[in-house]
Amino acid sequence: MLNFPFSAGESDLRLAIVECGRIAYERHLMTSNDGNISIRMDDGLILITPSGLSKGRLSTDDLIVVDIEGNLISARADRKPSSETPMHLEVYKSREDVHAVVHAHPLFATTLTVAGLEFPIDVLPEVLLTLGEVPITDYATPASHEDAVVIRPFLKEYNALLLRQHGSLTYGKNLDEALIHLERIEHVSEVYWRAKMLGTVKRVPLEAQEKLIAMRDQFLKG
Ligand SMILES: [Zn+2]
């Protein structure tokens, strides 16, 4: 369901966001009422989660439709757009190929940014093979327009970012892709943290790193 085609109807896309929210909440990627999920629909309008609700317990009629400038198109009277909507719109404006955006507050990945550590690109081969570098943005005040500004320099080149002392931003051609990036970021961050606690962090050997990067480039081109 999360792996929807571009032509999917709005009712299916609403179900996909509800399902993505349930998975992200149950995997502890969005605690409390944190995070937000959006999809760019076939007609260019954006379907997005509302402000203040837990993403684990959404209904399809909780979701809001806005245009690319953030103007409200439709919503239940008691539902307001998320204050983090401008960050989602910034991604869609920069990337024609993106149809789904997930902003989360994953525990281990967010902790890295609080500790002032880089994202560990080279400790698990699948990160080199699929994600590559995950840049960490400058600090921005959450729920302000600053979020949209700090992500701007990275959007064209990357599909996953960490927002300093805040959370993550992942995106792709559908929600499945955005969620896979998010889960991978959190998994490697937790492995890295646990390895540090045990004392040693082994890196993927340099020669193998080059091979993985070449395979990824080949895959992206093909
Ligand atoms: Zn947030």
**pLDDT score of 75:** 95
- All domains of the chain in start order, with CATH: 10-221 (3.40.225.10)
- Split at pLDDT 50, 70, 90, the class of 116 is very high
pTM: 0.94
Query: Is the confidence at residue 158, as pLDDT, over 80?
Result: yes
**pLDDT score of 48:** 97
**pLDDT score of 107:** 95
Q: How far is the CA of 33 from the centre of ligand 1 (A)?
A: 9
Q: How far is the CA of 168 from the centre of ligand 1 (A)?
A: 8
- Split at pLDDT 50, 70, 90, the class of 222 is low
Query: Is the confidence at residue 143, as pLDDT, over 80?
Result: no
Buried b (16+ CB within 10 A) or exposed e, 57-91: ebeeebbbbbeeeeeeeebeeebebbebbbbbbbb
Q: How far is CA 203 from CA 34, 124, 222, in A?
A: 33, 8, 28
Q: How far is the CA of 182 from the centre of ligand 1 (A)?
A: 14
Q: How far is the CA of 151 from the centre of ligand 1 (A)?
A: 13
- Give the whole-angstrom CA distance, residue 136 versus residue 113: 7
Q: How far is the CA of 193 from the centre of ligand 1 (A)?
A: 22
Query: Is the confidence at residue 156, as pLDDT, over 80?
Result: yes
**pLDDT score of 1:** 81
- Split at pLDDT 50, 70, 90, the class of 177 is very high
Q: How far is the CA of 97 from the centre of ligand 1 (A)?
A: 23
**pLDDT score of 220:** 76
39 - beta bridge partners? Answer: 47, 100
Query: Is the confidence at residue 11, as pLDDT, over 90?
Result: yes
Q: How far is the CA of 143 from the centre of ligand 1 (A)?
A: 7
Q: How far is the CA of 35 from the centre of ligand 1 (A)?
A: 5
pLDDT digits (tens, 9 = 90+) for 16-52: 999 999 999 999 999 999 999 999 999 999 999 999 9
CA Rg, the chain, in Å? 17
For residues 2 and 54, the answer to whether their CB atoms sit within 8 Å is no
**pLDDT score of 203:** 94
- Residues surrounding ion ligand 1 at CB below 5 Å: 167
- Split at pLDDT 50, 70, 90, the class of 7 is confident
pLDDT digits (tens, 9 = 90+) for 43-82: 999 999 999 999 999 999 999 999 999 999 999 999 999 8
For residues 31 and 105, the answer to whether their CB atoms sit within 8 Å is yes
